């Protein structure tokens, strides 16, 4: 009886561990994958998909280190207006550095209607599958 209980317990533990690992692997997305989803949504002008890549309390800082935006509401308001004003705007990544949960991109932005190309560097911090902060350098 005792050996049957131990065998049953072992089988149950093994099954639960395997399921937990499988679930974790399916849900784990690298920092780079999260930032790539954000970039695809940006280039598509899809505000809902764009906002979904950020944590609820996202913080975005400008080149002077000042907090420029915080939270989904401000993000949706400002980027939604940007997407409407410049539907042809596109961002391409010219260089990328990945260190753990940080993705640093040199961005080329064009399509703002004036024929001008601009560049920026974004430092994206990712946690639990969401971008939690961005520091821009331009």
Instruction: Say if residues 50 and 92 touch (Cβ distance below 8 Å).
Output: no
Query: What sign does the CA torsion over 39, 40, 42, 47 have?
Result: negative
Of 24 and 113, the one with more pLDDT: 113
Q: Which residues contact 103 (CB under 8 A, 6 or more apart)?
A: 31, 32, 35, 96, 97, 123, 124, 126
Range of the domain at 58: 2-137
pLDDT one-digit tens code per residue, 73-102 = 999 999 999 999 999 999 999 999 999 999
pLDDT one-digit tens code per residue, 25-69 = 335 899 999 999 999 999 999 999 999 999 999 999 999 999 999
Which single residue is written with the structure tokens 């280039």? Answer: 43
Query: What sign does the CA torsion over 100, 106, 111, 114 have?
Result: positive
pLDDT score of 25: 39
pLDDT score of 23: 40
pLDDT score of 2: 53
Structural domain tally of the chain? 1
For the chain, the C-alpha Rg in angstroms (whole number) is 21
pLDDT score of 85: 95
**What CATH number does the domain containing 107 carry?**
3.10.450.50
């Amino acid at each position: 009886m005792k050996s049957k209980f131990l065998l049953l317990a072992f089988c149950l533990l093994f099954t639960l561990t395997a399921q937990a690992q499988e679930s974790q692997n399916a849900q784990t997305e690298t920092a780079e994958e999260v930032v790539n989803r954000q970039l695809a949504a940006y280039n598509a002008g899809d505000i809902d998909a764009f906002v979904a890549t950020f944590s609820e309390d996202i913080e975005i800082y400008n080149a002077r280190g000042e907090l420029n935006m915080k939270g989904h509401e401000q993000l949706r308001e400002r980027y939604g207006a940007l997407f409407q004003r410049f539907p042809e705007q596109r961002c391409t990544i010219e260089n990328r550095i990945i260190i753990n949960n940080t993705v640093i991109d040199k961005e080329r932005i064009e399509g703002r209607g004036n024929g001008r190309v601009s560049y920026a560097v974004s430092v994206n911090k990712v946690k639990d599958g969401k971008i939690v902060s961005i520091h821009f350098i331009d």
